Structure 1
Amino acid sequence: MSFRLFFAEALPYLLAFYLLDGVRRVRPHHRLFAAWWGDRFRMGTGGLRLALVTPASRNFTVPFHWIVPGRTAVFVPRDPRYETDHTDPRFYRRISYEELAELSLVGRSIECRGETVVEFEAPVLAMEAYRRLVRLRDLEEDARDAEVRAEVERSLSWDLALARRDEVNRATGALRFAAWVALSLLFGLLPLYAFGRGSAVVSGMALGCLFFIAYSAILVLGLRAERSLSSGPRDWGKLLPMLLSPVTALHAGAEIGRHAFLGFDIAVVGAVLLPEGVRETFLRREIRRCELAALETGPDANVYWESRVDALEKIAVMLGLRAEHLESGPSDVAVGSAYCPLCETEYRSGVAYCADCRVPLRIKGPGASDVV
């Protein structure tokens, strides 16, 4: 048994017998020591009964769950100017349990002012109170440490935000410059190749080499920028549009932020390659999916989802689709009926969510809105 364990478990009982001498009295020359003991451990324990005298120098909080009817007594001085034995009714009065309940702070603790005396009759109750006190003290220390860490993080948040912005600008700035150079070379050499075909001005092999060099530079800078912007593992889906065409890098470089390489939506290319009968359904579902995703993400990601919706709407106009076709819902659903915006399954009235997609249903018609 360690010394600390002995001090916590055995010494309180020895102190109780020493202070009380088997009677309900606290001797005057022991009052100061008892007050120190109560101020240090905020509890009392003993074989028969221990009177805990709270210090008069400052307020003292007693947890309300320590006060048990019939097992604990609380005495307050009639006149705090005198130091007397708490068993003398002329100088101290005992507070009833109902009065303690009225004096308790939100039913959790009692604020003792002056030399308030708290008597613990049951040693088991006193030791349980001591164990609870140790746990509460540890929790309070952990809470204080958490508050300090939160304050430090708040003080550093602004500096971290500025550093993050500079890092993003550096990473995407190099990518934008490389894309601008590549496109300038590409569109500048195409007329030379067209007018000087078969001559010594420029050959197809030279144009292909320049195009390959510019394309490789864009990919290398894109990989470096993506690695510096993302804290987790590399997401190759963000770089897929760049692998398909270097022209997409120019649009991706214009997106400043966490979603730098998601500005170009590969679904736009897919919509162009789809048959005419499937384009409208595909674009309508993608737009609804982006709108639902914008509701579930934060404001920084909403910029990305809004850019996707704009790109899909523009490609729909280029393909000859009007906005009314995308807002009115599927053609096989009757006007005024509820349908799922993702799978476009028609539902009867009284249903608010799709059973498969778990998303709110919509009403087909002008100004489509979610079913309440």
Structure 2
Amino acid sequence: MTCQLTFLPVGNADSIVIQTDNSLVVVDLGNLNVLEEWLEKHEISKIDRIYITHAHGDHFPSLIRLANFISTWNSKISIGKIHLPYKVIEIARKKILANTANSKNGSLNLALQRIKEWSDSRAVKLSPIVRDGEEYSEGLIKIEALHPSQFYVENHLAISGSKLNEISIVLQISYGDFSALLLADIEGAGLTDLLRFLQNSSDSTIFKTNIVKIPHHGAYPPNGNELKDLLALVDAEIAILSVGSKNPYGHVEPALFNALIELQNNNTQRLNKFICTEVTRTCIHSKLERSSMGKSGLSTPQKCAGEIVIITNNLGEWQLKTEMTNHSAKIASLSHAACDGRVDIS
């Protein structure tokens, strides 16, 4: 019996498939075309859960696109339950009511109607997800949210509804003695809240993990020290970055790579490898070259590892497979490859 985590190469976005002998779970729909190609290729017959961590477009395709996806795939396969971003239905309805002349309102209203019909008929179950809320369990696999809590998400939306990264759903995946932590785009006050929760737990060692998905595609938050504390606490063996070559945000930020290199060089930490789906400018250009680029990315996408697959058994033993069979050669060809310790951060 095995569990397989597949990090799809979707650019500066997230789409992750978790598969066991009896279940299949998708986390985020950052590029539906890539996910749909994967589902077709692997002849998938059911999706037990879909988690959408937050309502930004690199994780959530919009209610209209989601409704089309459900309509298309629910006629081909079984979809069990979709955990929608918190209050996404309310936000969509308010958008329609606030601007009745908007030409997109008809499509959005139709999407809401279709989603209501599926929910009423239980053709597809829909619900939000919070810490200490519903867990997914099937055989040896268990998936639970570590952030946000019900109090945090409602309080946050009342104060600052626009900072959606701070209410990203952070998921812990357990399969026997193996675990993975998927940090979505957590940052800012949300990162502070998550770290405090883990630190205040009676036994923080239960959050020690084999795999960590680095948040926000290689961005480095203003409270970067708390991110470093979080990564040190969970003490992963490998860190995975879902990044896009052409992103216009300056990702991967050198400070993020530097934090990972520091963890690698810390003898008290287990981290021995970090790996990216695509090449970003940080691994190609020197600091001086980057200074003249603003935050622009590369002109064309380049896969580094490409699709990243972690295959594990219930004893916590795992192996890494990459889409790019020449991955080592690709790293060697990059003049400032961070995962080889050559990033220019001086």
Same fold (TM over 0.5): no
Q: Which fold has the larger relative contact order, with Cα–Cα distance below 8 Å and residues 6 or more apart in sequence? A: 2
Higher fraction of helix:
1
TM-score (norm 1): 0.18
TM-score by length of 2: 0.19
**Larger Cα Rg: Structure 1 or Structure 2?**
1
